[in-house]
Amino acid sequence: MSRVAELEIGENTLVERWQGVREDFWGDLKTQALRAIQRLLETTLDIEIQDLIGTRRWGSGLQRNGFYPRTLLTGYGWIPRLSVPRLRSGSVRFRALKAYQRRTPDVDQGVLKMFLAGVSTRRVEEVLEPLLGAGGVSGSTVSKIARVLDGEVRRFHVRPLEDVYRYLILDGVYLKAKSPVSVKRRCVLVAYGLREDGVRELVDFSLAPHGESQSAWELFLAGLKERGLTGACLKLAVVDGNKGLWNALDLAWLGLPRQRCWAHKLRNVANYVPGRLQASCTNQAREIYNASSYGEALRAFRHWKRVWNPIVPRAVACLEGDLESLLVFYRVCPRQLRVKLRTTNVIERVFREVRRRTRPMSCFQNTGSVERIIYAIFHRQNNLWKGKLLREITQNS
């Protein structure tokens, strides 16, 4: 009977046994690979030091002095005790292992790719722990590796720009960053462009030390022009109600039509409406920009005004004062692009990802960390957009 019981293997038993075989196999394979890497490295270092001694004349005093242990993190995990040969006097510069190197290049490249792909610093540590072991790559190590991006960030800010942008969306977003003496809200100026070929692109960003001032926007836009964005193809700029930005646009591209952001304006309108009426008031106001034409939008506004002017006249005045700039998109944009070009929401959506990445942090440690994380998210988003052209632009060329 016991022999028969052994042969009665159910589906669950097979799964459990296969799971155990698989774990044993891959665990053993990883261990053997790590040992092979250690042996290869130690042999290479030994050959290097033997070649160094062999090329010197007798009497130079160059002699071996045993080994010293080093730890090294590889793509297969930790080598806890790598035997590095040493000399009795002097030091050696190995080609296979740089001085003070604690990680192989593939580990650093993997961490950078994950960082650029949008994985947060803490999540990188969590993801790599099953692969490299506990303590393999700490959050502080990820931050140190990410500093390699500083050069890429600088190149991103100075790269030449093609004058192929048809629509620009400009906005300022605030984040917290530490200064030497306190925590401050840092303003990030952002330019998003739609190109003639249908490519969407986050063109550039700039940290403005004193907020969205006119001088900050002038400097930012002047930099875009100097790098090649002269505005020959520009048809529209979508902006919020910041006066400094409006004035800076006059200096950068005089006469360029400007569409005021509906999302910002409706938030302003809501400030003049009692809380219990805000949803009803703003929802009816949305019928204005959802109208099929400019004329229909005017009729929708007049109806909204008749309903709400007796109740919240200041809210109506807030919208009416900027109505003309709120309806520019009807006259400039093709119908298919109106939804995308009546607000600056595309920039807000990108910065939701920035805030998601930084939510575990009370604030950025410095402006360099701000730049690296924003660049990483911009880099990832631009790569995602490369293969997804907006046909609404190309069809209306």
Which residue in this structure is represented by tokens 């530490």?
178
Same domain assignment for residues 266 and 389: no
Same domain assignment for residues 168 and 254: yes
Contact criterion met (CB below 8 Å) for 208 and 386: no
User: How many domains are contained in the chain?
Assistant: 4
Q: What is the pLDDT of residue 387?
A: 78
Domain assignment present for 212: yes
Q: What is the Cα–Cα distance from 37 to 65, expressed in whole angstroms?
A: 23
Q: What is the pLDDT of residue 59?
A: 43
CB neighbours of 351 closer than 8 A, spacing ≥ 6? 173, 188, 190
Same domain assignment for residues 246 and 395: yes
CB neighbours of 278 closer than 8 A, spacing ≥ 6? 270
Domain assignment present for 149: yes
Same domain assignment for residues 85 and 1: yes
Domain assignment present for 359: no
Distances (CA, A) of 60 to 21, 45, 53, 57, 63: 56, 21, 9, 6, 9
Same domain assignment for residues 112 and 82: no
The CATH number of whichever domain residue 209 belongs to comes to 3.30.420
Which parts of the chain have pLDDT scores under 70?
1-30, 54-62, 75-77, 90, 100, 116-118, 120-121, 129-136, 139, 177-184, 357-366, 392-397
Domain assignment present for 375: yes
For the chain, percent helix, then strand, then coil, each to nearest 5?
55, 15, 30
Collapse the DSSP code of 363 into the 3-class scheme (helix H, G, I; strand E, B; otherwise coil) and give the result: coil
CB pairs under 8 A, 24+ apart, for 375-379? 375/149, 375/152, 375/153, 375/156, 376/115, 376/116, 376/118, 376/146, 376/149, 377/118, 377/350, 377/353, 378/156, 378/202, 378/205, 378/350, 379/116, 379/152, 379/156
Domain boundary among 111, 130, 158: 158
Domain assignment present for 356: no
Same domain assignment for residues 268 and 321: yes
Q: Name the residue range of residue 309's domain.
A: 262-342
Domain assignment present for 358: no
Same domain assignment for residues 389 and 248: yes
Q: What is the pLDDT of residue 143?
A: 73
